[in-house]
Structure 1
Amino acid sequence: MHSAALLQKVDELPRLPKAIAELLDVVNNEDSTVKAVSEKLSHDPVLSARVLRLANSARFGCSREVGTIDDAVVRLGMQTLRTLVIASAVVGAVPKVEGFDLADFWGNTFEVAIICQELAKRLGTLPEEAFTCGILHSIGELLIVNGDPAVAATISAAVADGADRNLMEKELLGYDNAEIGALLAQSWKFTPHLVKGIQFQNHPKSAEPYSKLAGMLAMAKQIAADWDKIPDDERTSWLAQINILAGIKVDLGGLAEKLAKMHGQGMEMGKQLA
């Protein structure tokens, strides 16, 4: 991962604000209480508002609107609250980019994240970790747009004409968005397991040992990108094919129906936060 071109970018990576880093320490501590999390969140009203918007989204919503962080914990549980705090912190920590459609970017990112979460449940792995990996998986693309807007525009134009994004990034930058995203996750002190998932998302079978997170990301990205192109009666067989290509063994029973119900929820969540 640490090519010369990539190493030159280390000092340019956005740092987590101290308050956000401390909050993540609290929510990632299994012994933390609801009171401790609520108290930390209260110091950042913008982040608190993001968490509550997520808690009231279609993904988690019910008839009664959540008005406080304590209410959110009661409705969602501590594990889900941790996930939402992490997602909200990531959104707030990355600089906004002039002329870049952040609503669309985060919408697509969250769509991949909730698909990863569903796949993780069917693989017997941690759904919260899969969701977090999904939230971080495309952060490298945002970093490239922020750091090299002219090059990013050239890459996007080439991709629109049919070029492969990762190959274009390698050619023009010396690294791709998955590598720079993994480096950021590493600098923000996410687990090596999660960093590896981001790094190998485009070629999961290359990871040694194999990374289930990378495989889930590969499958989730294809589902998010191509779902509307596949006829309803062909979706289960299509899911079986991309399951094999990703190198994972997801339980496909009822998956197409579940994904159909979830479709668009991630887009709504991401656009609420942009």
Structure 2
Amino acid sequence: MTIASVTPAATVSSAERFFGGHASLPVMPEVGRKLLRSLDDDGVSLGQIAELIGKDSTLAAKVLRLANSARYSPSHTISTLQDAAMALGLETLRNLAMAASLTGTFPDVKGLDRQRFWRHSMRTAGYARLLAKLLQGDADTAYLAGLMLRTGQLMMAMTEPDQVADVEAHAGEPGSRFSLESSRFGCTHADVTAALAAHWHFPADLVEAFKDANVPLEVKPFSMLAAILHLSEVIADACEQNGDRIAALTTAVPELVEHLHLDLEFLRLRLDACGDPGQDVELMLK
């Protein structure tokens, strides 16, 4: 699936138009900002993350619900954030908190089914984390980036809900959303997410990874994170459509698979072992 050729300047201009008019810029909660900054702090402790989450009662309640879900199979009821920290570990606790914080940042929008959207985003995040570990990338950053990858589409839907809904109705092939949006809007959800990340003062390399996620093989220098994001969305699309996730990769992005020298049979085993990263989305959205 190829993406229509659009100049970088035109893409930026097209993406920025979704931040005007009645589409107000969402505000990332302060706890979410601090969780993001903690990714660069190798000395952060479990206790500090638990204490930070506890400053937001709504966020804390979501994290506790998730910690008690079947996906994490707790041996006993987890009733405090300290229990959750010990049961889940730093990486999982922080990832769940970031997911819960981000889902609460955006309102319901016409043109996108909220539960379906965030289930797909959580799957993309989980697959990005898995791929980052396989490819020696930063798993925590990949999880956050995967979780955010489609948030630009929420901004697009606030402005042009019918057009976004039409794209979703025609996005029948894994990975096709990028091409359909590029033809329709002159930019993709990843471009709008890059603009959102820039408005939120995210690190420049993360903003660039979102921009590069559309066609990672066409960008120099090559961005491993951008490649991981594109692959993860293709896999999440296939999962949503109950298709073969490995076959989706070989059909949608064979050149990228070859470039990364991915061992697809090993990847299949890892995907099967990780289960469904989006299975607890209902608990996240309560």
Q: Same fold (TM over 0.5)?
A: yes
In the alignment, the residues of structure 1 paired with residue 86 and residue 120 of structure 2 have an alpha-carbon distance, to the nearest angstrom, of 28
Structure 1 residue 256 and structure 2 residue 258: aligned? no
TM-score, with length taken from structure 1: 0.82
In the alignment, the residues of structure 1 paired with residue 178 and residue 265 of structure 2 have an alpha-carbon distance, to the nearest angstrom, of 33
**What residue is the counterpart of 1:270 in the other structure?**
281
SS of the equivalent of 1:254 reads helix
SS of the equivalent of 2:280 reads helix
**What residue is the counterpart of 1:206 in the other structure?**
218
In the alignment, the residues of structure 2 paired with residue 194 and residue 58 of structure 1 have an alpha-carbon distance, to the nearest angstrom, of 32
Task: Identify the match of residue 243 of structure 2 among 229, 233, 239.
Answer: 229
Tell me: CA distance 1:253–1:40, structure 2 relative to 1, closer, same or farther (3 Å): same
Which residues of structure 1 form unaligned runs of 5+? none
Question: Pairwise mapping of residues 105-124 of structure 1 onto structure 2 (< 5 A)?
Answer: 105-124=117-136
Kindly indicate whether the alpha-carbon contact (under 8 Å) linking 1:133 and 1:194 is maintained by their aligned counterparts in 2: yes
Which amino acid letter does the alignment assign opposite residue 244 of structure 2? I
Tell me: CA distance 1:5–1:254, structure 2 relative to 1, closer, same or farther (3 Å): closer
In the alignment, the residues of structure 2 paired with residue 32 and residue 260 of structure 1 have an alpha-carbon distance, to the nearest angstrom, of 31
**What residue is the counterpart of 1:83 in the other structure?**
95
Q: Decide which moves more: 33-42 or 215-224.
A: 33-42
In the alignment, the residues of structure 1 paired with residue 141 and residue 42 of structure 2 have an alpha-carbon distance, to the nearest angstrom, of 14
Kindly indicate whether the alpha-carbon contact (under 8 Å) linking 1:57 and 1:268 is maintained by their aligned counterparts in 2: no
Which amino acid letter does the alignment assign opposite residue 236 of structure 2? A
Which residues of structure 2 form unaligned runs of 5+? 1-7
Structure 1 residue 6 and structure 2 residue 15: aligned? yes
Deviation at 1:48, TM superposition (A): 0.8
**What residue is the counterpart of 2:139 in the other structure?**
127
Kindly indicate whether the alpha-carbon contact (under 8 Å) linking 1:136 and 1:198 is maintained by their aligned counterparts in 2: no
Kindly indicate whether the alpha-carbon contact (under 8 Å) linking 1:55 and 1:72 is maintained by their aligned counterparts in 2: yes
Tell me: CA distance 1:63–1:221, structure 2 relative to 1, closer, same or farther (3 Å): same
How large is the RMSD of aligned CA atoms in angstroms? 3.1
In the alignment, the residues of structure 2 paired with residue 15 and residue 217 of structure 1 have an alpha-carbon distance, to the nearest angstrom, of 23
Structure 1 residue 36 and structure 2 residue 48: aligned? yes
Which amino acid letter does the alignment assign opposite residue 226 of structure 1? A
Structure 1 residue 15 and structure 2 residue 27: aligned? yes
Deviation at 1:251, TM superposition (A): 4.4
Task: Identify the match of residue 145 of structure 1 among 152, 157, 168.
Answer: 157
Which amino acid letter does the alignment assign opposite residue 50 of structure 2? S
**What residue is the counterpart of 1:177 in the other structure?**
189
Which amino acid letter does the alignment assign opposite residue 6 of structure 1? A
Q: Decide which moves more: 204-213 or 244-253.
A: 244-253
In the alignment, the residues of structure 2 paired with residue 5 and residue 255 of structure 1 have an alpha-carbon distance, to the nearest angstrom, of 36
Number of residue pairs matched? 269
In the alignment, the residues of structure 2 paired with residue 272 and residue 45 of structure 1 have an alpha-carbon distance, to the nearest angstrom, of 15
Deviations 1:140-186 (A, max 9, x none): 11221123223323433454699x54344344433221100111122
SS of the equivalent of 1:229 reads coil
TM-score, with length taken from structure 2: 0.79
Kindly indicate whether the alpha-carbon contact (under 8 Å) linking 2:234 and 2:249 is maintained by their aligned counterparts in 1: no
Deviations 1:30-78 (A, max 9, x none): 3344443333322311111222233233443332232211112112222
**What residue is the counterpart of 2:202 in the other structure?**
190
**What residue is the counterpart of 1:63 in the other structure?**
75
In the alignment, the residues of structure 2 paired with residue 249 and residue 271 of structure 1 have an alpha-carbon distance, to the nearest angstrom, of 36
Kindly indicate whether the alpha-carbon contact (under 8 Å) linking 1:55 and 1:76 is maintained by their aligned counterparts in 2: yes
In the alignment, the residues of structure 1 paired with residue 249 and residue 265 of structure 2 have an alpha-carbon distance, to the nearest angstrom, of 11
